[in-house]
Amino acid sequence: MKILAFAALSAFVGCIWTNTNEVDASLSRARVNAEVKSSQKPLKVAVFVGAGARNVGSFRWLEITARAKNVIATPVDGEAVRAGALDSVDVLVMPGGSSVLEAKTLGPEGREKVRDFVRKGGGYVGTCAGCCLLMQSSKCHPNMLNMIPYTFSVCGGKTDLSIMFNRRAEEIAGIRKGTQMVRYSEGPVPVPALPVKEADVEVVAYYNSDINTKSDKERTPLAGQAAAIAGTFGKGRLFVTAVHPESDEDDHYILKGAFRFLTGRELDWDYPQRKRGQLAVGFMCDDSFGVETAKLIQRLLREEEFDIIPFNKADIANGNLRNVDAVLAPASVSAQSVANGLYVNGINQTKAFLQRGGRIFAWGNAAEAARKYDIGVRCVADADAALAALRAFSAEPVPPARAIPPKVKKPIRAGVFHNEKNSSIHIARMLAFAPEYELRFLAPDDYAKGALKDLDLVIQPGGGCTSQYKALGEKGVEALRRFVLEGGKYYGVCAGAFLALQQSRENYPRLGLVPFKGDDPQHYRGKSPIAVELTEDGKAVFEGSKDERTVIYAGGPAAVPGESVEDVDVKVLAKYAGRTISVTSPEPVEPMNGKAALIGGRVGKGKLFISCPHPEFEESTYDMVRSAMKYLTGVYPSEVNHGRVRGAVAVRYASSDKASAEFRLGTLDRDPRIHVLSGSALPSLSHVDVVVFTDKVSNAHKRTARRFIARGGRVVIVADTPEELAAAKTVKEAVVLESYDGVIDAILK
């Protein structure tokens, strides 16, 4: 294989690239000097938005190219490509979605136009489906472009997983060698195939991990397979990835390397940063945009009035309507996506959103679907009418914040373990506002001091199991064991599930409450959604639930039978239906399918429920947490709407110790002027006004804080120890406090 190298940058912006047998040292960033930059014409980039290119990833590409400096970005569909739109551009971006549908949308003429565009010297960058599109056709994937010597297999799952860039990535694109966690969404597994006459390509990154979480079927292993490919086709260049580096700004250096390789130019782009007072607007991205909707997105990104947040129907089901003031459902969103997103799967979230004063504006196909459901969606004529309606809505008086319901006379007394190494906020927030429960946080030393005597229920959250055990100490562990055996209720998730199991590895102590142990794979499995299937016993606990649920897994146990335990009657309530996860390591782990994921039953005089994955991480599975609470206590915790009040300051709050958690749930979450963001759809800190740190500021926190402040954000650090104070003072322009007393004022200033 020939070694790829850059040719000299031509005076004409559409550079012509040639192969050479020598590594050109000018491939580094220093190659494009200030004189060349100042004389460059704008780079012309076409972003494909026709059928097949879809979802949030396409929005990200529109956002990146719209904000890129000295770049003219044009959305194109199949019709535009066939009409010659590529004749006047330098680079074609092909986003993720469906490569089969992208190929069909282009049609035979459009596919040849793309091939000819690259052949004559154009650049092509593609992610996921855009990578698949260049591969060779197969029975299941017809009409591919046949531009690289690969076919592809598929794998199941969605997560951030590890890929490894090699030395060639550094040499030809300036992408640093090493591993990086990048968003993966059922992307391809490139399989070497027949040579392609005009192609000279090489692998520049490999999968460094594996995933197969959607079913119990065997899939092609990812680890060791190609994850990014770069090279030439004719006189043009291509750079494609099987993953989604456009999804997270921390991965955008990969995209900059891709453009560097394709064009020889150092591209940069402004990152979106919320400005205080902007209306937070969710933009539905479930289908292909089409050119008109893409132009609307580009227009909205330039508006100073709106903070535009891309959503899909899964994000709605998972509670991210809580974080916005309004939603736009454009004409490009299909009736089915609107029905599924706002009604079928997200009906409770939609109703709560509208009841607190949120607005949904729909037009075109989206409006047609919305008219079938009479729950308050505003149907408008077109995009211009939607923007006018948004502005009018922004000027309306803000409705009063909804009152938090008072506690019942004798609430269930729940205690939740919380320290800097264990995360309890998700479950704690559910119970803290439910009128049927009274919540208190437990520091590790509270157990040995007798705090459990006044409780009905103890919650051991995720985090570190061994660290929980050691933090409790032998007296605290014995107090917890006695609490359960004498009639208390135990809810354990992930680390808390591990804690209840039997010890299966030396130096990893456990409570041994149940006759199960973790299967203890040699390597950490990672984090990803995974399917679990309810048993008959589980169906009785989760009444009305689907038999199979998708739950976030984050390194918890896969439970297998252990030694028998006296006076215990527990049942497996759900088993893993996905096979294996190893998203951070190339080493294989044991398949998970068939092993216990949820376990519950009687332990002595008490009752136990343990969940190996995390149903509390996403709102779509909150019902599982609430049903488990009812299973233990007989009382289902009521749902309380925590939605954003229009005009509230958007805050990311990093909870650490017991005091920080109590301040959040006792003060911040109860102040309607402040909205502490929840949910998983918001990328980095783009849509946040203020970040609050409550623990020692690490080097990673410092980098994040400095970048956030430079973009106009505000950082507040609570440092209540000398060590924390010293670290906090190294973050210039941050507001540093030695107690929680001034946090509200610092946020609202």
Q: What is the pLDDT of residues 711-734, one digit of tens each?
A: 999 999 999 899 999 999 999 999
The one-letter amino acid code at 729 reads K
Q: Are 341 and 348 in contact (CB under 8 A)?
A: no
With cut-offs at 50, 70 and 90, classify the pLDDT of residue 18.
Answer: very low
Q: What is the DSSP string of 10-58?
A: PSSSS------SS--GGGSGGGS-HHHHHHPPPEEEEEE-STTB-SHHH
Q: What pLDDT is recorded for position 172?
A: 97
Residues 460, 494: Cα–Cα separation, whole Å: 9
With cut-offs at 50, 70 and 90, classify the pLDDT of residue 641.
Answer: confident
Instruction: Tell me how crowded residue 379 is: count the other CB atoms within 10 A of its CB.
Output: 18
CA-based nearest residue to 692, from 617, 642, 646, 748: 748
At 204, is the secondary structure helix, strand, or coil?
Answer: strand
CA-based nearest residue to 210, from 162, 152, 153, 154: 162
Q: What pLDDT is recorded for position 320?
A: 87
pLDDT at 179 over 90: yes
With cut-offs at 50, 70 and 90, classify the pLDDT of residue 507.
Answer: confident
Query: Does residue 69 or residue 24 have the better pLDDT?
Result: 69
Query: Tokens for 66?
Result: 């719209």
Query: Tokens for 396?
Result: 């309306």
**Helices 622-633, 425-433: crossing angle, 10 deg rounding:** 60
pLDDT at 536 over 90: yes
Q: What pLDDT is recorded for position 19?
A: 34
Q: What is the DSSP string of 154-180?
A: E---EEEEEEEE-HHHHHHH-PPSEEE
Expressed in angstroms, the distance from the first to the final Cα of the chain is 60
pLDDT at 17 over 70: no
Q: What is the pLDDT of residues 570-612, one digit of tens each?
A: 999 999 998 889 999 898 888 899 999 999 999 999 999 999 9
H-type alpha helices, 231-370: 252-263, 290-302, 313-317, 335-338, 347-355, 365-370
Query: Tokens for 279?
Result: 């209306």
Residues 198, 176: Cα–Cα separation, whole Å: 28
Residues 538, 129: Cα–Cα separation, whole Å: 38
Average pLDDT over residues 542-562: 95
Q: What pLDDT is recorded for position 141?
A: 87
Q: Which residue ranges form the domains of the chain, and what is each CATH number?
A: 25-263 (3.40.50.880), 279-286+295-395 (3.40.50.10090), 412-633 (3.40.50.880), 649-748 (3.40.50)
With cut-offs at 50, 70 and 90, classify the pLDDT of residue 154.
Answer: confident
Provide the mean pLDDT of the chain.
90
Q: What pLDDT is recorded for position 37?
A: 52
Q: What pLDDT is recorded for position 157?
A: 85
Q: Which residues does 327 contact at the CB level (< 8 Å), separation at least 6?
A: 281, 282, 283, 284, 311, 321, 353, 358, 359, 360, 361
Question: What is the biggest distance separating any 2 CA atoms in the chain, rounded to whole angstroms?
Answer: 82
Torsions phi, psi for 308 (to 5 deg): -90, 125
The one-letter amino acid code at 240 reads V
Q: What is the pLDDT of residues 344-391, one digit of tens each?
A: 888 888 988 998 899 999 999 889 888 887 778 899 999 999 999 999
Average pLDDT over residues 231-244: 98
Q: Which pairs count as long-range contacts for 196-199, CB under 8 Å and 24+ apart, including other chains?
A: 196/136, 196/146, 196/147, 196/148, 196/149, 196/233, 198/119, 198/147, 198/233, 198/234, 199/147, 199/148, 199/149, 199/231, 199/232, 199/233
At 232, is the secondary structure helix, strand, or coil?
Answer: strand
Q: What pLDDT is recorded for position 202?
A: 97
Residues 109, 512: Cα–Cα separation, whole Å: 66
Q: What pLDDT is recorded for position 348?
A: 85
Q: Are 188 and 173 in contact (CB under 8 A)?
A: no
At 257, is the secondary structure helix, strand, or coil?
Answer: helix
The residue length of the chain stands at: 749
H-type alpha helices, 396-513: 425-433, 465-485, 495-500
| Residue % of the chain over a pLDDT of 90 | 73
pLDDT at 394 over 50: yes
Instruction: Tell me how crowded residue 41 is: count the other CB atoms within 10 A of its CB.
Output: 12
